[in-house]
Structure 1
Amino acid sequence: MWYKKDTDTIVKELETDIINGLSSEEVKKRVEKFGENKLAQKGKKSLLKMLFAQINDAMIYILIVAAVISFALGERSDAIVIAIVIIINAVVGIIQESKAEKSLEALKKLSTPKAIVKRNGEMVEVASEELVPGDIVILDAGRYVPCDLRLIETANLKIEESALTGESVPSDKDSTVISDENAVPLGDQKNMAFMSTLTTYGRAVGIATGTGMNTEIGKIAKMLDESESELTPLQKKLAELGKILGFGALGICIVMFIVGIIQGREPFEMFLTAISLAVAAIPEGLPAIVTIVLAVGVQKMIKQNAIVRKLPAVETLGAVNIICSDKTGTLTQNKMTVTKFYIDNQLKPASELNVDNTSEKLLLDNIMLCNDATYTGSSQTGDPTEIALLAMGAKYNIFRDDLNKQHERIDEIPFESDRKLMTTVNKYDDKYYVMTKGAIDNLLKICSSALINGEVVNLTDDVKASIMESSNKMSDDALRVLGSAYKILTSTHIDIDELESQLTFIGLVGMIDPPREEVKDSIKLCRSSGIKTIMITGDHKNTAFAIAKELGIAEDESQAIFGMELDNMSDEELASKIDNLRVFARVSPEHKVKIVKAFKAKGNIVSMTGDGVNDAPSLKAADIGVAMGITGTDVAKGASDMILTDDNFSTIVSAIEEGRNIFNNIKKSIIFLLSCNIGEILALFVSILMGWSAPLKPIHILWVNLITDTLPALSLGVDPGDKDVMKEKPRDPKESLFAHGTGISVLLNGALIGFLTLAAFIIGAKVYTGETSIFPLFPKDIHPNTLTHAQTMAFVVLSVSQLFHSLNMRNPKKSIFQLGIFTNKYLIAALLVGIFLQDVVITIPFLRNIFGVFDLNMRDWLLVGILSIIPLVVNEIYKLFRRIAQRS
């Protein structure tokens, strides 16, 4: 806690010399002890580690075992198809993972390359990496702070710390201010300067107290490095599903093997059948389909001005119910703007300033001439407050350079933090105007009169009361208030100490970092969608609450809290109050992480948006971190899951809408594949229990799962979005994929497909043998050709019925005709291609031999066509009755 110690104590502890600095020999020793002044770099993942991460999944393990067993048993085609699926999934995942985390590399780039220090009794410029604790460092305007410093000399020093603290205006620094408090926020440590912040005004001398990873920036880097990646809701559900399917497949295999042995079947034949069941139980293409659908979603998001760095972030967006947002630059424009002014006893919007009015023109002259900033259409330099004053003049085509040429500056008294005033003397023809601006309390003390309606009147108590009332009104609206005053001299022969006396008050200006215009509507839409917006900022409480109230984030001051209050709260206390809090002010990076974790602990899916270095740990800790692409630091971008290319908060809402639709589409694909696989399991399970031959071969199941099923599943993944999706509340992350009747639908549709497959198997056998009797359902001791014909019929019905079933999956309530048959052209194409490929497999002799199938005639195709379309007809009838029931 260097801010609590006086200069002599620090000099003694760091064994340094304020006059001469460190010697070269001492610097070498300290470099060996403390290391270079740069941030540690996180090691990159090796290709082998990335590969393992991709295959470390229960379903993938089961597929690998199935492939090995199939290959060992001579079923090489099965093994090859499984291997292709595993490879596709791993390659897509590795390509995305190869965009390695660059958080710490970006943090490293923030260090300024050069620093001015005292070494061996001389002022020298050295690379910032060479700085060590104890170095005497010199700062001046425009220079980045090269390491953490305890300031020992300051002259009108202001440092822009928004990237670290989130505060929108530069902080005044004073080396003489020493605090006795134990926990002072970074933004309030007036005698400290922190690495990678920017000196905007004045100069200073400081002692290096922290370098490299021991700086405040370094602490953030450590927090990023220590953050652990968590699985997204969908990843967790798929992992659970994989385990369930794996154990289910194993259980089915064991049961079927035992049943077959009891029935007196050949053990080897039953082992192959068990493998077939295991293959049927697991949707082999599911991991690859989810990955590909997410990748397609990433391309959609780019069109929405959002770059997704990590695939799972797409589906995570759909579950977000808390958006924690930094204020400065995210909800606001990060640009101080004059919004109100007071003159002639009237408080007016800045847009109503009349430059033809003598008093109002004098006010504008005052704030532009008594100003050291620069402002052009392409660049601005200096204090943001002064830039805002120049921007106000620019709206009326009045520029400081032109004004200075007309009214040359003759003399000045620079701004000082203790006076909180600045004064210039400018020439107006043969007269000299003393222009003073600054804090209203200090300004009124040196005023004796006021300019009201073009007349100079005495500054009575009533006039002062009116001025202070307007000033307080602007302060209540979180505006930063500056007052202006003047007096006229006929000669410059006056003591400079007398310039700031007997002034005439002109007026006030109030400025703020204004909210982005489109954000209010976005927050309103979020609220209607069941999404809470939380403001987290380094700014003061009244400023933060005023912005939050204007945007509709908070309604009452009880919903706002200081960061220091969080230090006195346990995690349990914070969790009990977190639901009512909407604004967190004056917070540190550690506070932001604590807030995000508190929301997550309540079962929320949390998004954190931000642009500064101080946002990076919380971006990492959130379920999805969103960085600003234009104003965002490289650190924030590196720590994020998603980057907004237009820095527009409203883009987040569009991204959430897209994320909801993408998740729904992924769910459609999963449910479709599972219902199809249940049909396969049921067909095999029943046939074995009944003592029949297997209706499907292992290669048939693989073909259906990986080729015929995959195309419609992918097409469902790119289904056009539901326009009403934002009218729904965020889904519960703990909610099962099979909630709201989905599980029953899966089972019933799976059962329907399974029984239709068995029906085709039975009909195929009877048609080929010419049998007309119903019993026995399946003929015993049939010829191998008859079995091949029956299996082919079952194979085609299983495949084509699933293709038609994909049309049912587009919406659980609306008819395919309401949605429009051709609104998803990819799905129609997938259906036609699937039927074509199925025909190719049983028509081309080479493929027919591989798959062990029979070439069907027209009568056979008519039968399988009728059976295959039944799932579509049944579901359309069910949806019709469901809609009728809802209307009544």
Structure 2
Amino acid sequence: MLTPYSMQQATINSVPPLTDSATSPTTGLTEAEAQRRLSIYGPNTVETAVQESWARVLLRQFKSMIVAVLGGAAVFSFAFQDFAEGYAILAVILINALIGFWLEWNAQASMIALRRMGATSARVLRDGQVRAIPADDITMGDVLLVEAGEVVAADAQLFDAQQLQVNESALTGESMPVSKQLEPTDPAAHLAEQTNHLFKGTAVVNGTGRAFVTGVGGKTQLGTIAQLVQEAKHTATPLEAKLNKLARQLVFITFGLATLFVVGGLLEGKSVYVLFKTAIVLAVAAIPEGMSIVATLALAYGMLRLAERKVLVKRLAAVETLGGTDVIFTDKTGTLTQNQMAVHTIWLPEGRVEVKPDAAEIEPALLSSDTFQKLLRVAALCNNATYSHTDPDTALGDPLEVALLTFAHTSRFDVPGAHATANRLAEQPFNSDTRLMATVHEHPDGQVWVAVKGAAEEVLRSCTYLEMPPSGPQPLSAEQRAQYLLHAEELARSGLRTLGFAYRLLPDEHQSDWTNELVWLGIVAFLDPPRPEVIPALASCQQAGIRVIMVTGDHPATALTVAHQVGLTTDKEAIAITGAELPSLFSDPDGEGGRLAHTAVFARVSPAQKLDLISLYQQHGHIVAMTGDGVNDAPALKKADIGVAMGLRGTQVASEAAALVLRDDSFASIVAAVEQGRIIFTNIRRFVLYLVSCNLSEILVVTAAGLLGAGLGLLPLQILFLNLLTDVFPALALGVGKGSSRVMQHPPRDPQGPIMRPGDWRLAVAYAALMTVVLLGSYYIARQYYGVAEEVGNNLLFYGLAGAQLLHVFNMAGIATPLRHNDVLRNRYVWLALALCTGLLLLTYFLPLLRNLLGIQPLSTSLLVLILAPAVLVLVLGQLLGWLLHRGQNAEKLRRQPAAQP
């Protein structure tokens, strides 16, 4: 059972202002009372998260088992006066710490964006005078004045509203501006239904209003969201956790081997110095020092690739995390839809016509309809919006009126011509009582044209006639009136916004009532249309085994309609779960046949409930991504394993909380990020196998050399050199491979699975054993048949292991891939890495400083074959080993398959 974040929501009307004797609608607060309350309730600011100091972040980089093991190795080196080795180990620790510090310090998100959502100043009524004051100084009980173009500075309860409309989409997910009313609403209702309240950070788009302030600062809905963002801590990404776990496994393996080696050596009476020196070598060999560097650079390369696709990555590990995502929670408004209204359906006397959002032209039969042309005339004339088809982004006005003008232009209706030949004589504006708008215009034949639009039931109530082409207006029967009411209800149940249209011709404009005896034209229904790229993007997600779930604050019917349009759900009987139902379902997630887990659409969901849903799926082992653009999405964006914000239409709060920002707001870019994430994880798994097999070979060489009495085998500085240079560059080349084009045709990997699967461990041990055997064989031949000294034998092991590890990179394409089809061969970065590492190895022999540090002795050319032969054998036998293991795996799969039925 969950402990819902939703219990933390702000309380509406925490102070009942209408019964507050210290304030009044006509005078507001006195200045003295305002100052007193300001000292009690505090400033009207949103608390920001305290950012950690750079020293604390840097210190945290040293709190790991890897650092402890390397630090212990450095201490022992200094104790045995091996200062060069000690300083080299400390340098490795410092390099890794600085890389981790740089990434984490740059990844810290600030809550400053939440301050920007509030207005910088506001108008209040104090001592009976209207004053403009800083928004931070507003306090409880203030009388707040708002008008079109302003941002609401605090939560407030309305007592006066004139045509007031507020865009609350960033806070609630509701596509349309909310018409504010004075009638009381249920304080427990969803924010989108709190029509008598104003909320901090929302935008007034029309009208004026006055309201009593009921919430300031952290007690506002915006402040509550800010608190949720702070509390929704982002833990280590799955990749980081898996790499840390892998490193711990290697440490434990080496610790066990070192302990056995030291104890056995002490029982045999071997030198304490030699034993502990060997233990230091094993500790250094166990730590894949280059792993974090290579992982970071591989992720950075993926980040650059995504930048070309308009995806801004704020946390590098987020790229891989998105690749492992198996559940995506997506907002509706602005993410799946365009966040602008468009005509969806027209219901004329001739019948119902659905307007396709991607249709270039309207159906010819509809264009030729006289009724349709008259409806377009009403839509163009009974309209106060402005629109230019050459620059649609400059449109201003009510979203439905803008949609009507857009549709009229798309239908090739001459909107400017209609206005030029029909001067407006008068207007009856829309209001909450009549629920319709009427405009009166000159008609070319000398009569007066009345254009009317509004709520379908109200317009129908004023209609006496029905437009019936080709005969013209006919009496509207009771049955026809009822039928159109049913049509309007059907469209509304589908989540569409509806308007009724009518007209009338009068002899002159002096008629006492323009809205009587109207001629009914039909219904126009509107919907925020889907973004064109969403449908194929969702199809790609489904093919890749990724479940996409819509979580919105909008109406359930609207959410389901959009879900059907984009293919999110194909079940016409599907039902959306609302926020009101979630508390009971959270208490028993498996109840009602697991309804919660099988629902694809959640509507009227609060920001806190989004957190609850994400937590539920995370608790069941899913890697959850969340997309969104509004303030209401910010807590969920931070809580999710990977938050994806829309950069164009999205709020800055959402961008700050997210790990990825889509600069083109394209859902298709999410699919590109998922694909890149999968490629990166495949590359990471590939180079981790390479690094682990190389490190295990070092461990086995040192251990076997000690057990066989061959000395240390390898020196600590030699192993550090291999781990930081000859391992890093080939591993990095593997990490930046382009990957397979079929990566999105497979289901997501097990989010709980380790980077190294059991089969990978077996393969790594086999490769390491192979390298150990051929290297010790070469060492034995050199000592027995060439009579070389132990120091020269050490050099043969060093160069032989370096060459074997370099050629071993070609074994990493996969055990089922023959050498001739090995995509690593076609990776130019691999060849560059081999060339660079070969050059570095040559420097260790010819550069005196490196020769002294690594203990390199002069080598005769006759020993060259003992260096090259192990490398070639590792490549050839490695390919054979991979083929045998692959054949064995296929045989095991066939054995486990049930016998075919006759």
TM-score, normalised to structure 2's length? 0.92
Q: Secondary structure of the equivalent of 2:75? A: helix
Q: 5+ unaligned residues in a row in structure 2: which ranges?
A: 1-8, 356-361, 895-902
From 675, 689, 697, the equivalent of 2:715 is 697
From 145, 148, 152, the equivalent of 1:145 is 152
2:443 alignment counterpart? 428
Alignment of 1:82 onto 2:82: no
- Residue correspondence of structure 1 range 264-343 to structure 2 within 5 A: 264-343=269-348
CA 1:312–1:2: 2 relative to 1, 3 Å:
closer
From 775, 793, 797, the equivalent of 1:794 is 797
Deviation at 1:879, TM superposition (A): 4.2
Q: Secondary structure of the equivalent of 1:749? A: helix
Q: 5+ unaligned residues in a row in structure 1: which ranges?
A: 770-784
From 352, 358, 363, the equivalent of 2:363 is 352
2:725 alignment counterpart? 707
Deviation at 1:400, TM superposition (A): 5.7
2:814 alignment counterpart? 811
CA distance in 2, matches of 1:678, 1:787: 23
CA distance in 1, matches of 2:149, 2:847: 76
Judge conservation of contact 1:369–1:435 (CA < 8 Å) in 2.
yes
Alignment of 1:459 onto 2:476: yes
CA distance in 2, matches of 1:208, 1:174: 16
CA distance in 2, matches of 1:478, 1:298: 39
- Residue correspondence of structure 1 range 257-268 to structure 2 within 5 A: 257-268=262-273
- Residue correspondence of structure 1 range 366-445 to structure 2 within 5 A: 366-376=378-388, 377=391, 378-396=393-411, 403-429=418-444, 430-445=446-461
Q: Secondary structure of the equivalent of 2:751? A: coil
CA distance in 1, matches of 2:21, 2:868: 87
CA 1:401–1:157: 2 relative to 1, 3 Å:
farther
CA distance in 2, matches of 1:207, 1:821: 69
Query: Which amino acid counterpart does residue 394 of structure 1 have in structure 2?
Result: H
1:586 alignment counterpart? 604
CA 1:2–1:366: 2 relative to 1, 3 Å:
farther
Deviation at 1:692, TM superposition (A): 2.8
Q: How many residues align?
A: 868
Deviation at 1:531, TM superposition (A): 0.4
Deviation at 1:504, TM superposition (A): 0.4
Q: Secondary structure of the equivalent of 1:761? A: helix
2:62 alignment counterpart? 55
Deviations 1:274-305 (A, max 9, x none): 11111112112222222222222221221222
CA distance in 2, matches of 1:178, 1:529: 45
1:560 alignment counterpart? 576
- Greater mean alpha carbon deviation, residues 415-424 or residues 383-392: 415-424
Deviation at 1:765, TM superposition (A): 1.2
CA distance in 2, matches of 1:3, 1:151: 16
Judge conservation of contact 1:600–1:606 (CA < 8 Å) in 2.
yes
Q: Secondary structure of the equivalent of 1:328? A: coil
CA 1:614–1:111: 2 relative to 1, 3 Å:
same
Q: Secondary structure of the equivalent of 1:203? A: strand
1:42 alignment counterpart? 49
Judge conservation of contact 2:422–2:442 (CA < 8 Å) in 1.
yes
Deviation at 1:3, TM superposition (A): 9.4
CA distance in 2, matches of 1:337, 1:357: 21
CA 1:239–1:740: 2 relative to 1, 3 Å:
closer
CA distance in 2, matches of 1:109, 1:401: 40
1:115 alignment counterpart? 122
CA 1:65–1:879: 2 relative to 1, 3 Å:
closer
CA distance in 1, matches of 2:685, 2:107: 28
CA distance in 2, matches of 1:630, 1:572: 39
Judge conservation of contact 2:706–2:713 (CA < 8 Å) in 1.
no
Deviations 1:167-207 (A, max 9, x none): 1111122112333xx62111111111101111122222110
Query: Which amino acid counterpart does residue 434 of structure 2 have in structure 1?
Result: R
Q: Secondary structure of the equivalent of 2:334? A: helix
Judge conservation of contact 1:103–1:635 (CA < 8 Å) in 2.
no
1:490 alignment counterpart? 507
- Greater mean alpha carbon deviation, residues 742-751 or residues 64-73: 64-73
CA 1:348–1:570: 2 relative to 1, 3 Å:
closer
1:548 alignment counterpart? 563
Alignment of 1:867 onto 2:887: no
Alignment of 1:876 onto 2:888: no
CA distance in 1, matches of 2:485, 2:18: 45
2:71 alignment counterpart? 64
Deviation at 1:138, TM superposition (A): 1.5
- Residue correspondence of structure 1 range 371-770 to structure 2 within 5 A: 371-376=383-388, 377=391, 378-396=393-411, 403-429=418-444, 430-454=446-470, 455-464=472-481, 467-468=484-485, 470-472=487-489, 474-475=491-492, 477-495=494-512, 498-556=513-571, 557-573=573-589, 576-739=594-757, 741-769=759-787
Judge conservation of contact 1:695–1:758 (CA < 8 Å) in 2.
no
Judge conservation of contact 1:815–1:879 (CA < 8 Å) in 2.
no
Q: Secondary structure of the equivalent of 1:200? A: strand
CA distance in 2, matches of 1:383, 1:91: 54
Query: Which amino acid counterpart does residue 739 of structure 2 have in structure 1?
Result: G
Deviation at 1:605, TM superposition (A): 0.4
Query: Which amino acid counterpart does residue 352 of structure 1 have in structure 2?
Result: E
Deviations 1:410-437 (A, max 9, x none): 2222112343211111222322111110
Deviations 1:628-648 (A, max 9, x none): 010110000000010011100
Deviation at 1:130, TM superposition (A): 1.7
Query: Which amino acid counterpart does residue 196 of structure 1 have in structure 2?
Result: G
Deviation at 1:461, TM superposition (A): 3.6
Query: Which amino acid counterpart does residue 440 of structure 1 have in structure 2?
Result: A
From 818, 823, 826, the equivalent of 1:823 is 826
Judge conservation of contact 1:78–1:702 (CA < 8 Å) in 2.
no
Q: Secondary structure of the equivalent of 1:741? A: helix
Deviation at 1:315, TM superposition (A): 1.4
Q: Secondary structure of the equivalent of 1:754? A: helix
Judge conservation of contact 2:247–2:288 (CA < 8 Å) in 1.
no
CA distance in 2, matches of 1:578, 1:84: 52
- Residue correspondence of structure 1 range 98-137 to structure 2 within 5 A: 98-99=105-106, 101-137=108-144
1:21 alignment counterpart? 28
CA distance in 1, matches of 2:485, 2:14: 38
Judge conservation of contact 1:347–1:470 (CA < 8 Å) in 2.
no
Judge conservation of contact 2:815–2:885 (CA < 8 Å) in 1.
no
Query: Which amino acid counterpart does residue 365 of structure 1 have in structure 2?
Result: R
Judge conservation of contact 1:578–1:598 (CA < 8 Å) in 2.
no
Alignment of 1:365 onto 2:377: yes
Deviation at 1:364, TM superposition (A): 1.0
